[in-house]
Amino acid sequence: METLLNPSKSTLKLSIPKTHIFKSSLLHSTFNPQPRTLFHRRTLSFTITCKVKTSQGRTNDGKNISKKILLTDTAPELSNEEVKVKPKNGGGALGLVRRLPRRILALLSNLPLAIGEMFVVAGLMALGTAIDQGEAPDYYFQKYPEENPVLGFFTWRWVLTLGLDHMFSSPIFLGTLVLLGLSLMACTYTTQIPLVKVARRWSFLQTADSIKKQEFSDSLPRASIKDLGVILMGSGYEVFLKGPSLYAFKGLAGRFAPIGVHLAMLLIMAGGTLSATGSFKGSVTVPQGLNFVVGDVLGPTGFLSTPSETFNTEVHVNRFYMDYYDSGEVSQFHTDLSLLDMNGKEVMRKTLSVNDPLRYGGFTIYQTDWSFSALQIIKDGEGPFNLAMAPLKLNGDKKLFGTFLPVGDTNSPNVKGISMLARDLQSIILYDQQGKFFGVRRPNSKLPIEIDGTKIVIVDAIGSTGLDLKTDPGVPIVYAGFGALMLTTCISYLSHSQIWALQDGTTVFVGGKTNRAKGEFPDEMNRLLDRVPEIVESSKSKQTDSIGG
Amino acid sequence: MIFSTLEHIFTHISFSVVSIVITVHFLTLLVDEVVGLDDSSEKGMVVNFFCITGLLVTRWIYLGHFPLSDLYESLIFLSWGFSLIHMVSYFKRRKYNLSSITAPSAIFTQGFATSGLLTKMQQSAILAPALQSQWLMMHVSMMVLGYAALLCGSLLSVALLVITFRKVITIIGKNNNQSFSFGEIFYMNERSNVLLNAYFLSSKNYYRYQLTQQLDHWSYRIISLGFIFLTIGILSGAVWANEAWGSYWNWDPKETWAFITWTIFAIYLHTRTNKNLEGVYSAIVASMGFLIIWICYFGVNLLGIGLHSYGSFTLTSN
């Protein structure tokens, strides 16, 4: 339980050991209670008792109990609340119901629980990459057989009952993510927001002893606190000077940023949920010159998907072509599309390529694939004939298509003919009736080729374009979450440094601490303090007048 | 032609310079400190940085595209990342010397890249249509820089664990009430000027604790920085995927493992917020992160499937 309030934010920790010692009515009557913050009202009933234990546990014999009353903004409040809250028990069933959400909140914002959840998520994801996803059950029967279980116990029963074959949409995974989201919200609410409020309150330390107890402390024998203030200001600190004491801080944004990180993650999760339940997607392979209607291709993904008017748009593929490198490999795919509305009027015309999609009316068309539709040839002066090309091998980027032109008696069972193969749209390889390689022709050369008495001219290679269509209402939310996450993660690198100083006669006592850059802080402070000018006394009486608080 | 010879020259110079730097460190460790050579090892790392930068720039110029399209180029970029980290820490704080971590890392990655295993990939490769985008520069460079920083940080944590191996066992074994994290020992030591703890009675132990404290702190700062780069890399990759294929997250093996890496280091940052878990447990998490980064970077490529198949390679020696 002691992990509930983040102990590294030690502004709280430092004040508690001192104040809980002076529980006197004098203290209660002199200080006005600040308006109660959510933090005090809600979590104190569970944390204060633990915190008292902690601070007692940590108080060493070495600590020096000062007899002075510490005048800080935060301390007296806590002592007020502490005394008043303890006797309150909230009896009865109604009290239990009222306390239940608070208990759940406290349970969820436990840090080891959150860490455990993150480990579980990571483990499930790793498992999801180890087990092949989305295969037929038969595949799992073979791969994880019952007679010979992997690792001694892992059979297909585990895979199918727990839903590990569709891990990333399975109940376990989504359930853990939901739990993580709830922990995120609970932790932000109970822990981080109050910490920010505490960090923002600045306080002056009025005694040299309290300053000496900081993580870094030093004293400058002959200096003026105003010089120190000026130097700190020049170094990017915000300085507050009140009488003989000084308070300066830098990098407060670094305290707010983790809240921003959590909120950005919640935004991303919300957007992701919307995408998963409210979008439409579909893919289509369209030969050059043909049309399709957007609404026919798109299918909903979840219960929140609602179609829009623009789904009635018809898409006409004007032309599909590819660019090639000098070495012959494909460099880019292009599709020239026209969008026509219900009346047949063209509303948009654009050439797509792989990293350049078409956006219209809420849906987006992406160029993702290509295929070979037909080969147009002229045979012996007759034609043109369209020979459909069949895919022989579709290995990702390496494809092979082929077609067959029968020659001679087409009714006999052993029909012989001319085979034509192509890897892409730029060259066709022809084989004769015996299956031997005969020649290569390019479609735009229009050069005839004579094979076994048949004169063939390859007129055109007609490709078909593979398009993916999508509408996704969650994308703006997710993008906003991405941007916020990037920004807030960068900002949370900043370290919140606080410096207190006190002018005591001619000596200035300086103390400070920082929350992240603990290693560099002493060096930075030493460099700053080196620059504070030392006041050399020419005549003692003059100096004491000008320096004294 | 001139560019490829220039590239070869740069590769050979940087490799040999890093080997010399490591040899100097070994001499200092095993034999004795040779006065005058220590500065040269620092200069050697600076020379190495400029050589690798030159290598990348020449490759960029004569390939026409940003040099990050396959495994070989990304390995060179990774070793550039290591030497960049070393340069930044060298110029900011002259005290702490990271070259014992960055130099061997740089040499290992460069050695692997230029070794015979990847000769096929060293020649310039044509950029596939899907990679012809401005996002290539941002996404891959951020990811590789993130990997470099996280690897450095997790190596520092591993070093921390190795140095304090025996103390780790006692600290884990002790009762929670009495266990001390390194931060707390340091803190107590600073506040009360009395050396209460028996650990500090010998000066050797005191210096060891100084070292572990520094390792702890540096590992935290470098991992935070690497985490920022990793976040930006993953998110820019998601935006690129959305622009190219219409969906920003596909549970591709590489994407999933990058997310797992991100999660592990998020766990690390969260363990640092709690004084009890700080110190030993966070170092253990960061060490796990070291293995996970290698699985993410290399292991997934060996599978050769999915959207990220550009990085795949088969281990055939030519």
Flag if A485 and B214 touch (Cβ within 8 Å).
no
Give, to the nearest 10 degrees, the angle between helix B203-245 and helix A475-491: 160
Shared domain check, A449 and A400: yes
Do the Cβ atoms of B290 and B265 come closer than 8 Å? no
Name the DSSP class of B201: G
Last residue of a domain, which of A122, A156, A191? A191
Region of B64 on the Ramachandran plot (φ > 0 left; ψ -120 to 50 alpha; else beta): left
| A364, closest residue in chain B (CA to CA) | B246
Whether residue B8 sits in one domain with residue B97? yes
- Regarding whether B145 and B22 lie in a shared domain, the answer is no
In a domain? residue B118: yes
Who has greater pLDDT, A56 or B58?
Answer: B58
Q: Which two tokens stand for residue A204?
A: 């002056």
pLDDT in tens, B275-304: 777 777 888 898 899 999 988 888 887 765
**B97 in Cβ contact with B215 (< 8 Å):** no
In a domain, A362, yes or no: yes
In a domain, A477, yes or no: no
Q: A427: domain range?
A: 288-408+415-465
A109 and A154 fall within a common domain: yes
- Residue B289 covered by a domain: yes
Task: Please compute Rg for chain B using Cα positions.
Answer: 22
pLDDT at residue A261 in the model:
92
Q: Please check whether residue A54 lies inside any domain of the structure.
A: no
Distances (CA, A) of B245 to A319, A467, B251: 21, 10, 14
- Reported as half-sphere exposure (CB side, CA atoms, 13 A), residue B239 has a value of 21
Find the closest chain B residue to A322 by CA distance: B129
Q: Which residue on chain B is closest to A117 by alpha carbon?
A: B267
Mutate to test the interface with A, among B175, B234, B263 (most CBs of A within 10 A): B263
Residue of B51, B22, B49 lying closest to B37 (CA atoms): B22
Tokens coding A265: 């993650």
**Residue where the block lists tokens 């971590």:** B101
For residue A519, the chain B residues in CB contact (below 8 A) are 213-214, 217-218, 221
For an interface test with A, the pick among B249, B288, B300 (most A C-beta atoms closer than 10 Å) comes out as: B249
Q: Are the Cβ atoms of B235 and A490 closer than 8 angstroms? A: no
Strands A428-431 and A416-422: antiparallel
User: In this structure, are strands A448-451 and A437-441 parallel, antiparallel, or unpaired?
Assistant: unpaired
Quick one: pLDDT at residue A438? 86
Cα–Cα distance measured from residue A463 to residue A370, given in angstroms and rounded to the nearest whole number:
7
Q: Is residue B179 part of a domain?
A: no
**What is the spatial distance between Cα B184 and Cα B161, in angstroms, rounded to a whole number?**
17
Q: Counting one residue from A and one from B, how many pairs have CB atoms under 8 Å apart?
A: 134
Among A8, A62, A478, the residue with its CB nearest the CB of B273 is A8
User: Do residues A162 and A106 touch, judged by C-beta distance below 8 A?
Assistant: no
Nearest-Cα distance to chain A for B253, in Å, is: 6
Q: Most A CBs within 10 Å: which of B156, B267, B269, B296, as the mutation test of the A interface?
A: B267
Interface confidence (ipTM) of the complex: 0.81
- Shared domain for A428 and A516, answered yes or no, is no
pLDDT in tens, B308-317: 655 554 444 3
Q: What is the C-alpha to C-alpha distance for residues A528 and A510, in angstroms, rounded to an integer?
A: 11
User: Nearest-CA neighbor of B153 among B75, B79, B226, B90?
Assistant: B226
Q: What is the pLDDT of residues B213-256, one digit of tens each?
A: 888 888 898 999 999 999 999 999 998 888 877 788 888 888 89
Residues B297 and B221 in one domain: yes
Are A522 and A387 in a shared domain?
A: no
SS (H, E, C) A296-332: HHCEECCCCCCCCHHHHCEEEEEEEEEEECCCCCEEE
A297 shares a domain with A247: no
At B148-188, the pLDDT tens digits run: 999 989 988 888 888 877 665 555 554 444 444 554 454 44
A308 part of a folded domain? yes
Identify the segments of chain A with pLDDT beneath 50.
1-66, 70, 73-91, 540-549
Indicate if B81 and B201 belong to the same structural domain.
no
Contacts of B225 in chain A (CB under 8 A): 493
B43-82 residues touching A, CB cutoff 8 A: none
Task: Choose the closest CB to A325 out of B126, B190, B266.
Answer: B126
Partnered with residue A154 across adjacent β-strands are A150
How high is the mean pLDDT of chain B? 76
Structural domain count of chain B: 2
Shared-domain flag, residues A435 and A509: no
Confidence grade of residue B206 (pLDDT, cut at 50, 70, 90): confident
Tell me, yes or no, whether A24 lies in a domain. no
Sign of the CA dihedral running A5, A6, A11, A15: positive
* CA A408/CA A401 separation, integer angstroms: 23
Question: Is B258 found in the same domain as B162?
Answer: yes
Q: Are A132 and A170 members of one domain?
A: yes
Q: Are residues B17 and B59 in the same domain?
A: yes
In a domain, B40, yes or no: yes
Nearest 5°: phi and psi at A110?
-75, 130
Q: Does B217 touch chain A (CB under 8 A)?
A: yes
- Enumerate the residues of chain A whose CB falls inside 8 A of the CB of residue B239: 479, 482
d(CA A57, CA A75): 19
Q: Do B256 and A129 lie within an 8 Å CB cutoff?
A: yes
- Do A442 and A501 lie in a common domain? no
**Model confidence pLDDT, tens digit, residues B244-259:** 777 888 888 888 999 9
Residue A370 covered by a domain:
yes
Residues A459 and A508 in one domain: no
Question: Tokens 């006999």 appear where?
Answer: A412
Amino acid of residue A507: T
Taking an 8 Å cut-off on Cβ atoms, the answer to whether B273 and A489 are in contact is no
- Shared domain for B140 and B276, answered yes or no, is yes
In a domain, A372, yes or no: yes
Burial letters B261-297, b for 16+ CB under 10 A, else e? bbbbbbbbbbbbbbbbbbbbbbbbbbbbbbebbeebb
Token pair recorded at residue A25: 């009515």
Do residue A187 and residue A214 come from a single domain?
Answer: no
- Evaluate if pTM is beyond 0.80: no
- Cβ of A215 within 8 Å of Cβ of B191? The answer is yes
**Torsion angle defined by CA atoms of residues B33, B37, B39 and B44, in that order, rounded to the nearest 10 degrees:** -130
Residue B307: closest C-alpha in chain A: A396
Residues B68 and B77 sit within 8 Å (Cβ to Cβ): yes
One domain, residues B222 and B157:
yes
Q: How many domains does chain A have?
A: 3
Tell me, yes or no, whether B106 and B207 share the same domain. Answer: no
Measured in degrees and rounded to the nearest 5, phi and psi for residue A250 equal: -150, 145
Nearest CB to B228 within list A7, A216, A493:
A493
Question: Is residue B196 predicted with pLDDT exceeding 70?
Answer: no
Q: Do B248 and A523 lie within an 8 Å CB cutoff?
A: no
Q: Which residues of B touch A4 (CB under 8 A)?
A: none
DSSP symbol at A189: I
Which of these, A303, A273, A269, A307, lies nearest to A471 by C-alpha position?
A307
Residue B304 lies in a domain: yes
Q: Which residues of A touch B132 (CB under 8 A)?
A: 331-332, 354-355
**Can you tell me the distance from the alpha carbon of A72 to that of A57, in angstroms, rounded to the nearest whole number?**
24
How close is the nearest chain B Cα to the Cα of A157, in Å? 23
Run of H or E including A428: strand A428-431
Q: Indicate whether B57 and B99 sit together in one domain.
A: yes
> Do A214 and A180 fall within a single domain?
no
CB-nearest to B196 from A2, A62, A519 is A62
- Which of A4, A333, A355, A472 is the best residue to mutate to test the B interface, defined by the most B CB atoms within 10 Å of its own CB? A355
Domain that holds residue B24: 1-123
Q: What is the pLDDT of residues B88-144, one digit of tens each?
A: 877 776 555 666 777 777 777 777 777 766 666 566 566 676 777 777 778 889 999
Do A228 and A108 share a structural domain? no
Do the chains contact at B259 and A357, CB–CB below 8 Å?
no
Q: Are A498 and A247 in contact (CB under 8 A)?
A: yes
Do B206 and B312 lie in a common domain? yes
Residue A267 has a pLDDT of 92
Position B191 scores a pLDDT of 42
A37: its two tokens: 């913050």
The token pair that represents B184 in the structure block: 């707390």
Instruction: Give residue B310's pLDDT.
Output: 55
Q: d(Cα B23, Cα B288) in Å, to the nearest integer?
A: 29
Residue A22 within any structural domain of the chain: no
Q: Which H helix or E strand runs over A483? A: helix A475-491
Do B204 and B73 belong together in one domain?
Answer: no
Tokens encoding B12 = 């050979």
Task: Flag whether B74 is in a domain.
Answer: yes
CB-CB neighbors (< 8 A) of A490 in chain B: 228, 232
